[in-house]
Each structure stands twice: as C-alpha cells, then as structure tokens.
Chain A
Amino acid sequence: MNAVASAQVSRDTVLAWLGEVMDPEVPVVSVVDLGLIRDVEWQDESLVVTVTPTYSGCPATEVIAQSIRDAVQARGIGEVTVRTQLAPAWTTDWMSTKGRDALRAYGIAPPVHRAAAADGTQAIDISALLAQRVVVPCPQCNSRKTRLLSQFGSTACKALYQCNDCLEPFDYFKAH
C-alpha cells in the first residue's frame, strides 16, 4: 500500500469515511457525530486525525482510535496517526443533531441541556446542583413524566431513567 492518492484526499472525504466509524458502545452514532474528531490534516505524507476522549476512563477510547486507523487504512491511506487532544475538553454540546436523532431512535435519550462550563470559573451552587431536576423526555413515547433511577447507567456517559407513562426504563446520555 502506498500514498499515491493521499495528497488528493480532502479533509471532507476523510470526515465522510469517519462518519461511518461508529462508537463501539453506541453503535448508531459515529465518532464524527459524537464530536470526537477535532481535526484532520495532512503532515507530509501522513494523515493526522486528532481525537478528544469523552470521559477520562472511557474504555472505548482505544477501540475508537484503532477503528479510525482501520477505516482510513482500508481506503488505502498508508500512514495515519491518531493524536489525542484533551483541551478544550469534550462536551456533549458538540454532538450533532444527526447524532442526537440517532440516539433517540436507538432508545437512548439525548442530552437535554447545554453542559456546564468546563473551565472551573463558573461558580458551583450546591443548592442549584441538588435541586436540579432536568426533564428527560422518554425516547419511546415522548412522555415528559420520567424519573431518574440511577445517576450512572450502562456506561460512564449515561444515566438510567424510567418513564412513568409507558414504564420503560431507558438510558439517558448525560449532558457533559
């Protein structure tokens, strides 16, 4: 395999390829729609994909990096580097509308509000924190009568809710 066509492959083309790389734990949302891809650029003959992790300890991070390398190399790009960038910290605000819709269709409620500022400068008001009761609409029946069952669900990025109308329990992708 060589880099014959590499210089001609545009950033948009690479992003389109990456649009088919799904998150291993939420296999209906791509790494692009999750907002994990921060940059795609050529450095000489090497393609550099800059990725930001979701949660510090997310075990999917390494699988995602490998899936990205595989997807790009499958198109004949020989040299690819996946670089990790921590700042600015990933936020669910970067999730695309397409990603949110795909989550809902899959039975996972998407984040319902904008995430808190990450720079630590924002005052943290304990009373607001504890009184905070976000309304998470049920992804099955759209009822707004739902309740939090557990602050963590199947993965660090989700919480567990239940619908009081259709009674279905469901995962909620937390605003982060």
Chain B
Amino acid sequence: MNTTKLEYLLRMGDNCLVLSQQLAAWCGHGPALEEDLALTNVALDLLGQARMWLTLAGEEEGKGRDEDALAYFRDGSEFRNLLIVEQPNGHYGNTVARQFLFDAWHMHVLAGLSTSSDARIAEIAQKSVKEVRYHFERSAGLMIALGRGTPESHARMQAAVELLWPYANEWFESDAVDEACASSGVAPAAPSLAAPWRARVEAVLDRATLKMPGYIGHQRGGKRGVHTEHLGHLLTDLQFVQRTYPGAQW
C-alpha cells in the first residue's frame, strides 16, 4: 500500500462524493426545471467519478474496502475533501459560485492528473476531465448571466464569491501528500495550479462584472480531515441507511 497515493485518491473521491451529495439536495428544488435537471446531472457525473476514485482507493488500501465501505462507513475526520465542497448550498447564487470556483480548480487538477505516472489514475482523470470541462462551461456561463443580471443578482453573486473566497486557497497549499505525489509524477504540484486558476476565474468574473476579492484570510484542514461543522450534518444524511441497516440493498 502506498499511503500517500491512497490519501490523494481519497481527496479526489471525497471531493466528488461530497459535492455530488450537496447538489443532489437541489433535486426537486431548483429555481427552474432546466436548472434542476442540470444540477442533478452534474451531481450524477460527480458521483460516477467518486465511485471510480474510491474503488481505486480501496484497491490501493488493500483491506477489502470497496467504494461503498469508504463512502458509508468512514467518520467525518476520515474524509479528505476540501472544505469548499462541504459549504452549505445557501441560495442558488451560493451554489453556483461554489461550483464555479471548484470546477475551475477541478478542471486543472484533472488535466494534470491525466498525464499521471500511475496509469489507473490517468485513465480516471482522462474520463473525468471531459465531463468537468462541461461543468465549468456551464457554471462560468451562469456566473456571467447572474453577475450581469439585475442589481439584486449582481449584489448576491458578489457576496457569494466573497463568502467562499477564503475556501478557495486550500487546494494550492502543498502538504507532505501533495509533495510526495508531485515528486513521483502521480499528480501535478498543488501550487502550480494557482496561476492558471486565477487567470481563468478572473476572466470570468471580469465578464460577469464581478470584482475579484482581495486576500481576506483563508481556511484549511479538509485535506487532513479537519472539517467545518457542515460535513457531519451532510454525512448523517448520506450514511443514515447504511449505518442503520448495514449492507441494505435496493
């Protein structure tokens, strides 16, 4: 077992799983039928990606845990997702802004992983990056539409970006896992994604007539299992049935 690779796989898988669960909560509650459909389709893509990452994580771990065991029977402190994906859905603008900031990073990290020295990781990334490009195209388009919409939507989007901004730094901070994966060519160096991410985000915010926030402090911890209170609430929903009736199937 390569523990740094395992940690990295859990990070990728947990990001997808947690964000998918968040988006699924919009099912039936979207502001328009098209948005409802779109968000749940994005959720579905992310769930499929989570399954691939977590299956591979289970194989890497070699203790017989499959995707379900990892999704349903780990506690919050064992989740390795970034803090931004567990932030509340809020109003629709918050969900869109969270998605946009994440998609821009996700697209770059997957592009980097698609040339990973680990062929299995490269395969999953090559599959996922195609889907995530589309997610980004959609969330960027919505940022622009809402940023340029009405004074009300503009103000809400600006506030949403500022609310989430402190969470949009964690992914560029390299720790021992990131460094080990970067030096073995498994993953791109975390800080190397910062400049392309900023450029992309700035281009969209500019078109959306939204201001790029300055530095307003930042949060970290998700990658080593230190989470905000929101993750626990999300997991109670996600894990309830399997925790109550272990092994239950449809």
Contact = CB atoms under 8 A, between A and B. Distances in A.
A56 B114 contact: no
Contact of A118 (B37, B126, B134): B126
Interface stretch (B64-72, B105-113, B211-219): B105-113
Interface residues of A, number: 34
Interface string A77-115: 000000000111111000000000000000000000001
A56 B34 contact: no
B200 A56 contact: no
B203 A127 contact: yes
Interface string A135-176: 000000000000001111111100010000000000000101
Given A89-B126, A120-B129, A152 B38 contact: yes
Contacts of A88: 126
A26 to B, nearest CB: 16
B6 interface: no
B115 A57 contact: no
A118 B129 contact: yes
A59 to B, nearest CB: 7
Interface residue tally of chain B, by bracket? 35 or more
Contacts of A89: 123, 126-127, 130
B37 A120 contact: no
Contact of A87 (B42, B47, B111, B127): B127
Interface in A32-59: 53, 55-59
Contacts of A160: 34
Nearest to A174: B134
B130 A116 contact: yes
B52 interface: yes
B127 A151 contact: no
B173 interface: no
B34 A149 contact: yes
A126 interface: yes
A152 B126 contact: no
Nearest to A59: B44
Interface in B20-49: 34, 37-38, 41-49
A124 interface: yes
Contacts of A91: 130
Contacts of B141: 130, 151
B148 interface: no
B44 A130 contact: no
Nearest to B110: A120
A160 B41 CA distance: 13
B181 interface: no
A57 B137 contact: no
Given A152-B38, A160-B34, A129 B137 contact: yes
Contacts of B123: 86-87, 89
B204 interface: yes
Contacts of A153: 37
Contact of A124 (B38, B43, B127, B133): B133
Given A56-B127, A151-B38, A129 B47 contact: no
B51 A126 contact: no
A119 interface: yes
A155 B141 CA distance: 20
B94 interface: no
A149 B32 CA distance: 12
A121 interface: yes
Given A57-B51, A88-B126, A176-B134, 11 more contacts: A56-B45, A57-B45, A57-B48, A58-B48, A121-B115, A127-B203, A129-B136, A130-B144, A149-B34, A151-B137, A156-B41
13 contacts: A53-B127, A56-B47, A56-B49, A89-B127, A90-B127, A118-B129, A120-B110, A127-B203, A130-B141, A130-B207, A152-B37, A152-B42, A160-B34
